[in-house]
A and B are shown apart, each in its own frame.
Chain A
Amino acid sequence: MRDPRQPAVAATGVRKSFDETVVLDGVDLIVEEGTIFALLGPNGAGKTTIVRILSTLIPTDAGEVQVAGRDLVDDPDGVRASIGVTGQFSAVDELLTGRENLQLMADLNHLGRVAGRARVDELLARFDLVDTADRPVSTYSGGMRRRLDLAMTLIGSPRLIFLDEPTTGLDPRSRRQMWDDIRALAAAGVTIFLTTQYLDEADELADRIAVLDQGRIVAEGTPAELKRRIPVGHIHLRLADLSALRAAATLLEGAVPDEERLVLRVPGEGDVASLRGLLAQLDDARIPVTELSIHGPDLDDVFFAVTARPNQDKEAA
């Protein structure tokens, strides 16, 4: 029997390499029942690899993992019976209609004829797919496809759902709708494990966020805790030439130059006093600025704050 107070996901020391490349380098994760957990990281950080491991698709090289209270190695079918997965690439059958896709899932979940059909109708209505239910999925838009994908995941009423970048590639309206769907699931007591590369998405949805970078968790906490570690935003300065850019980069603390675009990224707040101070510093050093813009905090700021290097493969200045 499983202990109801056990976390939905408990992973310690998870390692995974593909050939010579280390993708996960000792990842520890705890996700409590009934919460929304966001794994935040840039492309290539290892987010999808973690989801593939936790959803039984690939084995770990090392580490202990329990999902839904069951051991990943000893009882993979027990894990599979408790989870639902919506991957980054839509896992729908293009040649079947929306209804047939859902019916297929109902059959594979052994719901029975009557209950299965009722569940299919219920999910079609809930995800606004009734009008297009009998059209082949190949005619669906990106947002509809993602909704069908999520509906297929929900057929068996899983207690834990993995959503791998659920809103990547969606237009803003579909993205909002997906957020509402995720919140509704969480309100119904379902545990959500989602990966994202957008800070605002994690901020908007998650109870806890873990930041994954180069196969390690580099920060973890509630959105509020994490944001306290993040500067409020950053200022973009465009400079006239390379020597001006380099001079400004040495002058200003924490500045990251982009030599190709002649842009300097300076962490800091966008209020009048600090802007005035910044410009005064540049004026004193006789460095002309051609353009200035103020930006709110984004994933780059999180990375800069927790890893002290920018979220690109460039080196920090």
Chain B
Amino acid sequence: MSALAYTVGDSTTMLRRNLRRLQRYPSLTLMLAGMPIVFLLLFVYVFGGQLSHGLSANLSGGRSGRAGYLNYVTPGILLVTVAAAVQGTAIVVAMDMTSGIIDRFRTMAIARSAVLTGHVLASLIQTLASIGVVLGVAVALGFRPDGGALASLAAIGLLALFAFALIWLATALGLAAKSVETASNTPMFLTFLPFLGSSFVPASSMPAGLRQFAHYQPFTPATETLRGLLTGTPIGANGIIALGWSVGIALASYLWARRLYANRRS
């Protein structure tokens, strides 16, 4: 077998191991997918009626009231789903790093990258499954994506790429954490970022300072692009910016995670 075949083989073995672990530890997945669903219900049924009054018709897909707000908020909720799911990545990575089995892997002649690749791919599958569940709930509540098949595919692609970037970031945070408790806290800021962007209300309604922050942080272009693809709002330059952020975060986090893993000494 070639080196590449070993790398692929070992990564697949690790992926299988991590998927099995997730299956044995379902409470984590349920908790992390449950949070965005609670947010969705909260924002649509508690705040939605009132918030919908501030939305222009082109932002609410031409619908009025709660249904219009559901249309507006669903893309943002999907990104909250990603942010919540990667919290699980950090926890699972830190759990692994604090157990003895990682040292066993490190004394074996296996592809160095396989341990991290296995975690990232398992998390990606888990995150996409969470997105599927949350989207299903949104559709059940009345959300209707109307961008067409190609746009829907592009939306899935963007979600996957954005998730991939945040998963690498969470992997690095999980490696950097000294304990599982720390690892469950450090990625928490990711779940707050959508609130400081255009996920729940248009950024233009925010005061100066916050508005600029909202404008330049990665969740806003991702939300705008996703909303455009799913509900037909204008995307503009946001598509390119969202791609740039995703690739940049993925690359920087990958390099950081790889270094942390290689330099582990404890």
Contacts and interface: CB of A to CB of B under 8 A. Distances in A.
A57 B107 contact: yes
Contacts of A191: none
Nearest to B104: A91
Nearest to B111: A108
Interface in B86-112: 99-101, 103-110
B144 interface: no
A80 B108 contact: yes
B7 to A, nearest CB: 12
A285 interface: no
Contacts of B100: 87, 89-92
Contact of B24 (A77, A91, A95, A156): A95
B17 interface: yes
Interface string B12-34: 01001100110011000000000
Contacts of A247: none
B10 interface: yes
Contacts of A100: 20
A93 B13 CA distance: 14
Contacts of A78: 109
- Which range holds the interface residue count of chain B? 20 to 34
Contact of B107 (A85, A89, A90, A104): A85
B1 interface: yes
Contacts of A226: none
A136 interface: yes
Interface string A76-111: 011011011101011111111000100010011110
A57 B103 contact: yes
B25 A104 contact: no
A187 interface: no
Contacts of A93: 17, 21, 99, 101
A103 to B, nearest CB: 9
A89 B101 CA distance: 9
Contact of A55 (B10, B107, B110): B107
Nearest to B22: A95
Given A94-B99, A100-B20, A108 B107 contact: no
Interface in A102-138: 104, 107-110, 136
Interface string A152-169: 110010000000000000
B263 to A, nearest CB: 10
Interface in B103-148: 103-110
Nearest to A82: B109
B28 to A, nearest CB: 11
B6 to A, nearest CB: 7
B141 to A, nearest CB: 35
The B interface, classified by DSSP as helix, strand, loop or mixed, is: helix
Contacts of A84: 107
A108 B24 contact: no
A302 to B, nearest CB: 29
B243 to A, nearest CB: 36
B239 interface: no
B20 A96 contact: yes
A110 B6 contact: yes
B14 to A, nearest CB: 8
Interface residues of A, number: 30
Given A91-B100, A92-B100, A56 B6 contact: no
Nearest to A77: B109
A50 to B, nearest CB: 14
A316 interface: no
A110 B109 CA distance: 10
A242 B16 CA distance: 65
A80 to B, nearest CB: 4
A85 B104 contact: yes
Given A58-B265, A108-B108, A91 B20 contact: no
B13 A104 contact: yes
B109 A81 contact: yes
A208 B114 CA distance: 38
B9 interface: yes
Contact of A95 (B9, B25, B104, B105): B25
Contacts of A94: 99
Interface string A6-42: 0000000000000000000000000000000000000
Given A87-B100, A92-B100, A57 B25 contact: no
A107 B13 contact: yes
B103 A108 contact: no
Interface of A: 55-58, 77-78, 80-81, 83-85, 87, 89-96, 100, 104, 107-110, 136, 152-153, 156
21 contacts: A57-B103, A57-B106, A57-B107, A80-B107, A80-B108, A80-B109, A85-B107, A87-B104, A91-B100, A91-B103, A91-B104, A93-B17, A94-B99, A95-B20, A95-B21, A96-B20, A100-B20, A108-B105, A108-B108, A109-B108, A136-B24
Given A93-B101, A95-B21, 19 more contacts: A57-B103, A80-B109, A83-B107, A85-B103, A87-B100, A87-B104, A91-B103, A92-B101, A96-B17, A96-B21, A100-B20, A104-B13, A107-B13, A107-B16, A108-B13, A108-B105, A108-B108, A108-B110, A110-B1
